[in-house]
Structure 1
Amino acid sequence: MAHLLKDKEAYERLNYLYQAAHCVLSQNPENVELARFYCFTQRTVARRLVLKQDPSVKRTLCKKCSSLLIPGVTATTRQRRKNSKIRFTVMRCLSCGQSKTLLNNPDYCLWVDRPEAQLEQQKQPGDKPQINTTQQLLSRCVV
């Protein structure tokens, strides 16, 4: 069954702008301003059309200056530890100094990666309810 995506053209435009920003920085790391312009345009289009971006894309963009965060090129990456069990990745933008803290938990599963978040998995009006325990759902997420 073909899945029709709403605003497919807009998502293609967002994807193109993100790939263009990566390409510009990979060819010449001094073109930070052009890559920032592409990322700012991507963010503006997504905000104007009220589109949800993938978490992996949002994690690589600076919230303050819309710069693409590439470790060693436009950002520094450090591993921090709050206690023996909780670890964080701290990404600091080299353009504006904004820090982004991401939790390092191998057992954590993003909502978009869970089966119930997928459109194909959602129940139809005539379907029987399917009972899933939390353990069954988590076992699907852990790789």
Structure 2
Amino acid sequence: MGKGRKGGSEQVPNPSGITNRDLLQRLNFLYQASVYLQQASTSSSLEQAQTDTRSSKRRRRARSTESIGTSELLSDLSKNYAGSMKAIGAKAIVKMDPVVKRTMCKACNTILVPGTTASVRVKPSSSHRHAISYTCTKCRRSRVIPAPPRRVEPPSNTPAQGPSVSEPYPGESARAPTGRHRKRKRGLTTAVPFFEREVGHVVFRGSHVLLQEVAERDE
């Protein structure tokens, strides 16, 4: 098949045509591996803390030393992967996404997981209304990022606002009903319903009268 003309149909994306494809794949692998190892180190320490409450003192000491060693090894390996990821990106002049950068500590290259390796706080800011502060639990290095603005959308199904009947217009005082209006309201009577009227009963078939009952009224 021939090649498409310029400005004709849309070009099909070609994965082999991406610049620095090998570097991007390597950076992606290093980042995923560092995140996985960091989560594995925190989960292993939590599981060990739960099992230590049931075992004896000697077993607790032995298991605590083993758990500390494994968790430290995993966290150190995670930091090493994150540091090599930064070095490769700086050497190859490949810009990483700001969202990925904010998940890593600048000082110790720890993956910041809220609640385990980082404490997240929302603080007021003078330039921005609010700012998010990430504090690393390993080296106590903090990083402040402006909070994204929160847009409050108006509700879609809202009735048109206008002057209500009960509220008076501006400049006019609410008028109380006069005596004539009160008398007219008192004089009005409701009509008697049909089932209570004593006027008789008539049965028709088409235009012919089949049955006619006349109620006897008291004179």
Please give the TM-score of this superposition, normalised by the length of structure 1: 0.68
Trace 1:56-67 onto structure 2 (pairs within 5 A). 56-67=99-110
2: CA distance between counterparts of 1:28 and 1:10?
Answer: 27
Q: In the comparison of the two structures, how many residue pairs are matched?
A: 107
Match of 2:32 in 1: 19
2: CA distance between counterparts of 1:28 and 1:63?
Answer: 20
Work out which of the residue numbers 89, 93, 104 in structure 2 matches 1:50: 93
Trace 1:1-143 onto structure 2 (pairs within 5 A). 1-3=12-14, 4-29=17-42, 30=71, 31-82=74-125, 86-106=129-149
> Structure 1 counterpart of 2:37, which letter?
V
2: CA distance between counterparts of 1:2 and 1:82?
Answer: 43
> Structure 2 counterpart of 1:60, which letter?
T
2: CA distance between counterparts of 1:86 and 1:33?
Answer: 37
- Per-residue CA deviations over 1:69-102 (Å, capped at 9, x if unaligned) read 111221111111125x610110011121111111
Structure 1: which 4+ aligned runs deviate by more than 4 Å? none
- Provide the aligned C-alpha RMSD in A: 1.8
2: CA distance between counterparts of 1:24 and 1:102?
Answer: 25
Consecutive unaligned residues in structure 1, runs of 5 or more: 109-143
1: CA distance between counterparts of 2:40 and 2:107?
Answer: 24
> Structure 1 counterpart of 2:105, which letter?
C
Shift of 1:107: 6.1
Consecutive unaligned residues in structure 2, runs of 5 or more: 1-11, 43-70, 152-219
- The percent identity for this pair of structures is 27
Please give the TM-score of this superposition, normalised by the length of structure 2: 0.46
The residue matched to 2:114 in structure 1 has which SS? coil
> Structure 2 counterpart of 1:45, which letter?
I
